[in-house]
């Protein structure tokens, strides 16, 4: 088995300070997601006019599309603080109580991966979202007693990549449920040009379009590619990102013209070579490619399905004709033009 030395753009992360600097600060600066932005503008504007807490908001969609950024923008537009946490961190009701009681009137509590909150904790959120109070049990057995805690009127902004895992009672308590979709190439090109301008990184239009076309419709990945390509341009060329420089840098990262990375290709090849194109379960694929199942489901599969390489059926995942073409196989037989190898 060959060792893969290329760098996965999903895991290549700039420093937090740089990442924060690239976040658009206002709705006007936010590119794409027009319907979601308009809905949020309406709610934020009304809350500001009435001088009351914003109603609860649920942001859904694949990772890297701007859910956390939108929470920051909402807080900035309302001139309120944003407290950020994630579902797995809130392990018990006491953790939730600590977060809620430290909020000020009108503050935002942003919970990423809200679908991973334990059910025992989720039940305490119901009364907090509706009545702005929580009842906490103190002690156990005959000494057990309930203590009611009043909390400030706050806004819960939940983010999830898997809205189907949220319970119906939880979903129903969000006034707005809105989905963020993958970006088209035009919007991503604008994001690339803006980020390069903020980073003082020279780039031409064709270079920006090349990076945008291979960023899987995801701003986070686009920004990650910018950081690597800027380093490549500084080290190997004159510092300016052109189409030629971008292509060379992305070739080094093993990202093809379709935006497929090494793991995407490994998934398609494994399905074609070992399972005759499916149907095959995601858990089986995960074992075959040596990756966690939830990573495949949340990071790789949505893009492969949207781009038409895979189909999800009740029996399992199957390759489409487009997926067969990328795999280098035809009806279960390896073609002469196959350039993919299991690593």
C-alpha span between 308 and 277 (Å, rounded): 14
pTM: 0.81
Q: At what angle do helices 185-198 and 219-236 cross, to 10 degrees?
A: 50
Nearest to 86 by CA among 108, 115, 128, 66: 115
pLDDT at position 26 is: 93
Strands 133-138 and 316-319: unpaired
User: Do residues 201 and 249 make contact, with C-beta atoms less than 8 angstroms apart?
Assistant: no
C-alpha span between 341 and 62 (Å, rounded): 28
32-53 pLDDT, tens digit each: 999 999 999 999 999 999 999 9
Q: What is the DSSP letter of 279?
A: -
Beta bridge mates, 334: 329
pLDDT at position 74 is: 95
pLDDT at position 275 is: 87
* CA-to-CA dists, residue 327 to 138, 254, 340, angstroms: 59, 15, 7
C-alpha span between 52 and 43 (Å, rounded): 11
Nearest to 283 by CA among 275, 195, 136: 275
User: Do residues 199 and 84 make contact, with C-beta atoms less than 8 angstroms apart?
Assistant: no
pLDDT at position 18 is: 64
Residues 6+ apart with CB under 8 A from 117: 87, 90, 111, 125
User: Do residues 136 and 146 make contact, with C-beta atoms less than 8 angstroms apart?
Assistant: yes
Phi, psi torsion values for 92, nearest 5 degrees: -145, 165
For the chain, percent of residues with pLDDT exceeding 90: 49
What are the CB-based long-range contacts (under 8 Å, 24+) for 171-175? 171/58, 173/56, 173/125, 173/126, 173/129, 173/130, 174/56, 174/57, 174/58, 175/43, 175/55, 175/56, 175/57
231-243 pLDDT, tens digit each: 999 998 888 999 9
Mean pLDDT by 10 residues, the chain (343 residues): 45 57 90 95 94 94 92 94 92 86 92 91 89 78 76 93 89 94 93 93 94 92 93 90 93 88 89 88 89 86 88 90 81 46 42
CA 201 to chain centre: 25
**Domains delineated in the chain:** 33-179 (3.40.50.300), 185-252 (1.10.8.60), 262-334 (1.10.10.10)
Residue positions annotated with a catalytic role: 67-68, 112, 161, 220
Nearest to 132 by CA among 161, 162, 173: 173
C-alpha span between 309 and 326 (Å, rounded): 8
C-alpha span between 83 and 90 (Å, rounded): 13
């Amino acid at each position: 088995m060959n060792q893969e030395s290329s760098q996965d753009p999903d895991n290549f992360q700039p420093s937090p300070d740089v990442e924060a600097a690239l976040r658009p600060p206002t709705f006007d600066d936010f590119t794409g997601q027009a319907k979601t932005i308009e809905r949020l503008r309406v709610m934020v504007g009304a809350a500001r006019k009435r001088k009351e807490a914003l109603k609860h908001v649920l942001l859904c969609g694949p990772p890297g599309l701007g859910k956390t950024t939108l929470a920051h923008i909402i807080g900035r537009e309302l001139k309120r603080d944003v407290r950020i946490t994630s579902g797995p961190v809130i392990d018990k009701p006491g953790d939730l109580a600590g977060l809620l009681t430290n909020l000020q009137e009108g503050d935002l509590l942003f919970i990423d991966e809200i679908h991973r909150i334990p059910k025992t904790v989720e039940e305490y959120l119901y009364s907090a979202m509706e009545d702005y109070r929580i009842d906490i049990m103190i002690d156990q057995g005959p000494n057990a007693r309930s203590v009611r805690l009043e909390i400030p009127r706050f806004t819960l902004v939940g983010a999830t990549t898997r809205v189907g895992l949220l319970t119906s009672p939880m979903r129903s308590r969000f006034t707005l449920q809105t989905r963020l979709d993958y970006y088209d190439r035009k919007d991503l090109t604008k994001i690339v040009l803006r980020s390069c301008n903020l980073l003082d990184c020279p780039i031409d239009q064709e270079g920006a379009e090349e990076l945008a076309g291979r960023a899987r419709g995801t701003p986070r990945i686009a920004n990650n590619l910018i950081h690597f390509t800027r380093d490549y341009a500084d080290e190997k060329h004159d510092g300016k990102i052109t189409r030629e420089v971008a292509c060379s840098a992305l070739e080094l990262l093993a990202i093809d013209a379709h935006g497929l990375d090494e793991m995407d290709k490994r998934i398609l090849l494994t399905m074609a070579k070992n399972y005759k194109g499916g149907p095959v379960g995601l858990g089986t694929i995960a074992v075959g490619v040596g990756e966690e199942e939830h990573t495949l489901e949340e990071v790789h599969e949505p893009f492969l399905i949207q781009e038409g390489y895979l189909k999800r059926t009740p029996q399992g995942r199957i390759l489409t004709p487009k997926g067969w073409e990328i795999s280098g196989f035809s009806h279960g037989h390896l073609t002469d033009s196959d350039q993919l190898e299991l690593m």
